[in-house]
Amino acid sequence: MRQPFFDSPDSSLTFKKYIDMRTQEKPKTVKIPQRFYDDSNECETHPPKIIKENSKSYWIESERNRSMYEFINRALYYVHPFGVRGGHYGNYVRAAGSLLKALHKSGVLSEEEQKEAISSGVKLS
């Protein structure tokens, strides 16, 4: 006769994993423009994980980690007056500004990053 699921030697561990999986919260996400994310991905930086996408936007995890730190620094570089300017880069500069605005609305940017974005001409409000 087959043993019941909960009578196996590792049943408490298996059941606990099942409960943890069921009660796990969904990650907090931020909607960002695809253009900047794709550019960052092409330049071999490691942007945050994509949770969902549509034709113009990605939803990424809003967790502050190394990839988010690099992503924000790249956006700040793009919008800085001495950063990337002119030619076909204008679209990337606008996308970086939109990214910073979205991250600000979701509370991901630190105060220093907010000040730097505002001093570079990004309207965060």
Edge-to-edge strand ranges of the sheet holding 57-61: 29-33, 57-61, 50-53
What digits encode the pLDDT tens for the residues 1-19?
555 544 555 555 555 555 5
- Please count the CA atoms within 13 angstroms of the CA of 78 that sit on its side-chain side: 25
> Where are the chain's structural domains?
30-119
The pTM for the full model equals: 0.74
Q: What is the per-residue pLDDT across 49-104, written as a single tens digit (0 to 9) for each?
A: 899 999 889 999 888 899 999 999 999 998 887 766 655 677 888 889 999 999 99
Indicate the helix (H) or strand (E) that contains 59: strand 57-61
Separation between Cα atoms, residue 18 and residue 40, nearest integer Å: 36
pLDDT value for 7: 52
